[in-house]
Amino acid sequence: MAVSLSGPWNTGEIDRFLDESTFPVRLSCVGNDGFPRVVSLWYRNQGLNFHCVTHRESKLAKLLQKDARVGFEVSPNEPPYHGIRGQGMASLQALDQESTLQELLSRYLGGTDSKLARWLLSRSEEEVLVTIKPLRIYSWDYRERMADVG
**For 104-123, how does the pLDDT look when each residue is reduced to its tens digit (9 = 90+)?**
999 999 999 999 999 999 98
Are β-strands 36-41 and 25-30 bridged in parallel, bridged antiparallel, or unpaired? antiparallel
Query: Residue 146: what pLDDT?
Result: 83
Query: Residue 67: what pLDDT?
Result: 97
- DSSP for 89-132, written as a single string: EEEEEE--SSHHHHHHHHHHHSSS-SHHHHHHHHTGGGEEEEEE
pLDDT in tens, 25-40: 999 999 999 999 999 9
Determine how many CB atoms are found less than 10 A away from the CB of residue 74. 23
Domain annotation for the chain: domains and CATH numbers: 4-94+128-141 (2.30.110.10)
- Give the C-alpha separation, 35 to 31, whole Å: 5
Please state which of the ranges 3-12, 97-106, 123-132 shows the lowest mean pLDDT: 97-106
Query: Residue 145: what pLDDT?
Result: 87
Whether 150 shows a pLDDT value over 60: the answer reads no
